[in-house]
Amino acid sequence: MSSTHLQAMLISRLGINMIYLPVSLLSDSSTFFNFAVSIIVNAADFVRSYNEAISQQIHERKIKPQETIRPLTVESSRSLFELPFWLVLPDGQREPLYTTSNRNGKIKISIPSAELGDFESACDGILKNILNRHGYRLRPKAVTLTLFARLFLGDWFVHGIGGIDYEFITEHILEDYYGIKGLNFGVATATATLLFLGGEDKVSNSELKQQLRNLKYNPEKFIKPSLRKKEPVKSLVAEKQKFAKAAGNRSLSAEEKESAWKSISEINNKLLKFTENATRQANRKIRLLENHTLSQRQRDSREYFFGLFQEANLHELADRKPKCFTKEIK
């Protein structure tokens, strides 16, 4: 059972009537092929607009390069352009689509490892024949799928919370390449957590880290009283007290005080050998708390498939009146 089919079943259980248009069906249509052909024959302008949008997003909106879409490859010397489409084989293997053009205007379709054929005119039938000959299916990448949906499928496009990160790119291409401004869009988002993962209060490990700090600088406080009365612990503690008093003596020189602190540090390292059990327990508790914190982050994630949630909670969420607001994206 495909994930899309499972999703359709669950949405139907919630009483939501939704029409599904599989990407495979959409991208095999003549309309989508004509959309792709228009980009292929104008590859230089489209890729310029596409990469310009990504560059502006990085520099003007301070988006980190690794947090946005990778720019398309351009080799000007060969008039080679990577386009935002996949070519997919029946076994699922996919290759990026490239085009090159010569001085006579003839366009070649290729993948990184081989040329697939000549594209002599802006005709979707020729592109289909080339791909069919090699067993490839044409599929969109993220930006081209969104562009196609906004241009051909609806008057108002709804993003998820993740898709809004790329809205600046599609808006730029729509305005710069297609010359279309003001296409409406919205963002739908909701926060829900998996209740069965538990709802424990978050626990700070700052107290345990403070305990480790005390172990390092005051190890004698964590040694059993019976051991403190025996040698060599007894002498080490007495020696440490003597150096601590010297370190606080204002009449001593800076060099003498530094020597005293160094001696205290050396004694602490010796005393730590007698606190192994306390140190081991503190480190174990810190690891447990760190694992607990990681579990809480996983519990609070917004990325879980909605089918994992209890049906009653999904009904409540679907029936809840949404809060709407408008905001200009700059």
DSSP letter, residue 136: -
In whole angstroms, give the CA distance from residue 61 to residue 168.
Answer: 9
Q: Give per-residue burial for 273-290: e unless 16+ CB within 10 Å, then b.
A: ebbeebbeebeeeeeebe
pLDDT at 200: 47
Q: How far apart are CA 143 and CA 166, in angstroms?
A: 8
**Which amino acid, residue 27?**
S
pLDDT higher than threshold 50 for residue 263: yes
Helix 124-134 and helix 30-41, axial crossing angle in degrees, nearest 10: 100
At 38-96, the pLDDT tens digits run 999 999 999 999 999 999 888 887 788 887 889 999 998 888 999 999 999 988 899 99
Q: How far is CA 88 from CA 30, 92, 126, 141, 149, in A?
A: 18, 6, 18, 12, 20
139 pLDDT tier (thresholds 50, 70, 90)? very high
The answer to whether residues 274 and 257 touch, using CB atoms and an 8 Å cutoff, is no
Predicted local distance difference test score (pLDDT) of residue 198: 46
Average pLDDT, the chain: 83
- How many CA atoms within 13 Å lie on the side-chain side of 301? 12
For 148-198, write each residue's pLDDT tens digit.
998 998 888 887 776 777 788 898 999 999 999 877 788 877 777 776 544
Residue among 126, 125, 8, 301 nearest 117 (CA): 126
Question: In the predicted model, what is the mean pLDDT of residues 224-242?
Answer: 88
pLDDT of residue 124: 66
When mean pLDDT is compared over 3-7, 58-62, 70-74, 325-329, the highest value belongs to 70-74
